[in-house]
Amino acid sequence: MKKIFVILLVFLMFASCKKLEDLNKNTKDPSSVTGESLFTGAQKRLFDQMVTSNVNDNIWRLIDQYWTETTYLDETNYNLVNRQIPDNHWERLYINVLKNLDESKKVITSTTYVNDASPLIKQNKLAIIDVMAVYAWSVLVETFGDIPYTEALDIDNVLPVYDSGKDVYEKLIVRLNTDISTLNPTWGSFDMADNMYQGDVQSWIKFANSLRLRMGMVLADADPALSKTTVEASAADLSLLIQSNQENARIIYLSSQPNTNPMYEDQVASGRHDFVAANTIVDTMNNLNDPRRPFYFTQVDTSSIDTIVAMAYVGGHYGHSSNYYTHSHAPAKMMLPTFEGLIFDYAEVEFLLAEAIERGYTVSGGGTAASHYNNAVTASIEYWGGTALDATTYLAQPNIAYATAPGTYKQKIGLQQWIAYYNRGFEGWTAQRRLDWPVLVPGSNALSDYPVRFTYPIEEQTLNGTNYSNASSAINLTSINPHGDDVRTNLFWDRY
């Protein structure tokens, strides 16, 4: 009897321990995550970072002088440090996007899909993940220059070396070449786990080709030979590029948080009135009688100062305080929770093709720089809600028509690109740096010249000091460009 009691006591002790262990388990969260869900999350976070108007994360609409601030003027005066904007942008892309895409790739690679009709479905998924990663990497290079790449994303290496931005960019193009040749439109991919193209592989081929076209043009002044071969590879068959606004790279946000458009969260849900349209773009579009104004800006009542034109588009003085209610600002449509996020569009493809022809590159289809320029402007006007007639009327103006508009091809294309990229601040910034047009003059209280890059994160300076110092010393230093880790330092592709 005593022996039985001891055995029973031991059993109860083990049972109690087992129950205590169970109390330590998280039964609400999954113990593993699918590669598909990791991809979905990374994709959304990438879009969120590129479209948000939160000044802690994304200030390109301010840098590009599309918007200016009403009260807090640090960002329009090029103060990037107070809110640690470079740190946040770096973290969002490395951790929230690239690391999750890397984990998605690992999980999908190791997963056996017994119900898939073909292994090419997994192959398509892995290629799509890589295309999305190449886009994110390209944004980092175009923002900072030299960045951690070969040693990045390894959680066991907290002090990664920095790779040459040019070397990284060239490797990214090689990756895109492989991805484009790997994608097989006969088979599917992510289906509804892909918020951009719902798993349609042909659409991903078009996006990858269009991205390669853009990256090739970014290199035009830095490496003309590689630029030419890269652009011509994408322009050899225009049907494999984004060819309409319906094929744009976008996601549709939902009506309820946390899946609403970040601009709605930043400005409507939070009840903030931090931004108005900048006089830089408003005055330009007023002078050009641009039909996109009602889609870009609200009108304000100016009857107290103008009895002839009571309602008008009025921009705030860039870099200075501006009253929200007496200046134009983004219209209600742009602030809807369901307003789409956009990272690549048809207008951009056509602007790039126009520039490629001007540079002497071969573009299939027999078009001219003027025809592609017209296509680009028309695509932008129609995307925002204008009509084909609006575009025709606009393009007929002598100061808009390609044959008679003032300036070089860089100035003609550069001005219209800048206007078209109104809600694509990062690409507006990149295009302006590439073509140096329009010239955007800093406000009178600006802390620096127009920023042509972000400085490295403060955390990199303190935690990865040796590699940070090496990168800062190497970054495009010349006798006329001696700044190092500075917003004034032109990146390797940004040549005059």
pLDDT in tens, 90-132: 999 999 999 999 999 999 999 999 999 999 999 999 999 999 9
Residue 305: which pLDDT band, with cuts at 50, 70 and 90? low
In a domain, 140, yes or no: yes
pLDDT of residue 477 exceeding 80, the answer is: no
Average pLDDT over residues 320-349: 97
pLDDT tens-digit map of 400-428: 999 999 999 999 999 999 999 999 999 99
Average pLDDT over residues 293-312: 85
In a domain, 291, yes or no: no
Helix axes 409-420, 425-435, angle to 10 degrees: 170
> According to the model, what pLDDT value does residue 9 have?
39
Amino acid residing at 103: E
Domains in the chain: how many in total?
1
Q: Which comes out higher in pLDDT, residue 186 or 483?
A: 186
In a domain, 10, yes or no: no
State which of 7-11, 28-32, 241-245 shows the largest mean pLDDT: 241-245
pLDDT of residue 29 exceeding 70, the answer is: no
* Residue recorded with tokens 């002088």: 65
Q: How many helices (H) and strands (E) does the chain have?
A: 19, 8
Least confident of 265-274, 410-419, 467-476: 467-476
In a domain, 415, yes or no: yes
In the chain, the percentage of residues whose pLDDT exceeds 90 is: 88
In a domain, 214, yes or no: yes
The enclosing domain of 146 has a CATH number of 1.25.40.390
In a domain, 67, yes or no: yes
pLDDT tens-digit map of 147-157: 999 999 999 99
Task: Please tell me the distance from the alpha carbon of residue 413 to that of residue 339, in angstroms, as a whole number.
Answer: 27
In a domain, 23, yes or no: no
> According to the model, what pLDDT value does residue 337 have?
97
pTM (predicted TM-score): 0.93
Whether 189 contacts 195, CB under 8 Å: no
In a domain, 55, yes or no: yes
pLDDT of residue 483 exceeding 80, the answer is: no
pLDDT of residue 371 exceeding 50, the answer is: yes
Enclosing domain of residue 345: 35-257+340-474
pLDDT of residue 49 exceeding 80, the answer is: yes
> According to the model, what pLDDT value does residue 476 have?
60
Pairing, β 275-277 against β 67-69 = antiparallel
The closest of 273, 275, 293 to 283, measured between CA atoms, is 293
